[in-house]
Amino acid sequence: MQPLALTLGEPAGIGPDLALAVWRRRAELHLPAFYLLGDPAFLRRRAERLDLDVPISSVKPEEAAVEFAEALPVVDIDVAATAEPGRPDRSSAPAAIASIRRSVADVMAGRAAAIVTNPIAKHVLYESGFAEPGHTEFLAKLAQETTRRPLHPVMLLWSPELAVVPVTIHLPLTEIFKALSTALIVETGRIVAHDLRRRFGIARPRLVVAGLNPHAGEEGALGDEDRNVVAPAVAQLAADNIAVRGPLPADTLFHERARASYDAALCMYHDQALIPIKTLAFDHAVNVTLGLPFVRTSPDHGTAFDIAGTTRADPSSLIAALRLAARLAAREDAAAAIEQAGSVAPAS
């Protein structure tokens, strides 16, 4: 399998610190080979600041797997990063964006097995004119430029304890009622079921769908959206032979016994999904983008400007993201090989 492509993320954040720290523990943790997309000189300066003995090797992607044992492989994105820890500057957005662009180009060309993205600072990107809501949407846009077909990216937050999907993502609460539709829930559920089968190896994924309103609407007494929007989506998914239940009251969906009854919970809005998983798995949850033609994972935390440039950042989520990316990419490769073998079966 090809190495993983790890993006730089926000240069002033903890992403570079974590990349350096986990490479030093590569053997101890049995990590899959990866290369970092960034500015080699910047990484050397950050390693020196952290007093970490990490040799930096400027490489091409095809050289990364061999170099990984002796040095952190860095593929130069030809954009200098100059930001100091905790202090984004004019180089921050161009470096972060260039790293993401190159990661997609590499994975689509087969030079990388999957993408692992370090955290970005959205406000820094927005101030530079960045037009996408976030990582997920930008990755989908870049993939569409290559595939020439529309894609519907879906955010899955995964941990051994819980997997959740926000059907609507980065929206103010006042806009959720307008954005949520039966069609959106159905499309999201289909993508989740497909990728849980193909990439996670779950033969028949079990989905639950959270109600939008308290008590899933109490049969219309607390709002009719669950009865008129969510319930028809659940019925359509069931008609598609997907194992699904709902809408169910969100306040009883995340205790231990309830979690044992499903593989992923579809939630109607951002915080309904992220509050429970960050409560249960704050340090090791992984953000996975479904619905793309490649595997993408990311640590489920932010840039942590307040501790950037120190050794205090916890690498657990990045370690989990690297391991999960390798696991999903291997399953994707196996599924693709089976499909290819079927398409070239000898004629009778």
Question: Can you give the CATH number for the domain in which 93 is found?
Answer: 3.40.718.10
Verify that 1 and 119 share a domain, yes or no.
yes
Q: Which residue has the tokens 């130069």?
A: 76
- Taking only the tens place, the pLDDT of each residue in 86-133 is 999 999 999 999 999 999 999 999 999 999 999 999 999 999 999 888
Q: Is the dihedral of CA 333, 339, 343, 344 positive or negative?
A: positive
The whole-angstrom separation of Cα 322 and Cα 288 is 11
Residue 334 forms part of a structural domain: no
Model pTM? 0.93
More confident residue, 255 or 283: 255
Conformation bin of residue 12: beta by default, left when phi > 0, alpha when psi is -120 to 50: alpha
Q: Which helix (H) or strand (E) holds 165?
A: strand 163-166
pLDDT tens track for 15-49 = 999 999 999 999 999 999 999 999 999 999 999 99
Flag whether 102 is in a domain: yes
Among candidate residues 308, 275, 348, 277, the one with its CA nearest the CA of residue 19: 308
188 closest CA partner among 253, 117, 247, 265 = 265
Determine the Cα–Cα distance for residues 164 and 156; give it in Å rounded to an integer: 6
Residues 2, 146: one domain? Answer: yes
Q: Are residues 142 and 238 in the same domain?
A: no
Range of the domain at 138: 1-151
Residues 182 and 258 in one domain: yes
In a domain? residue 335: no
82 by Cβ neighbours in 10 Å (0-12 / 13-18 / 19+) ranks as middle
- 259-312 pLDDT, tens per residue? 999 999 999 999 999 999 999 998 899 999 999 999 999 998 899 999 999 999
H or E element: which one contains 207? strand 206-210
| Pairing of β 163-166 and β 154-158 | antiparallel
How many CB atoms neighbour CB 291 within 10 A?
A: 20
Does a structural domain hold residue 48?
yes
Give the total number of structural domains in the chain: 2
Whether residues 108 and 163 share a domain: the answer is no
Q: Residue 112's closest CA among 299, 297, 318, 320?
A: 297
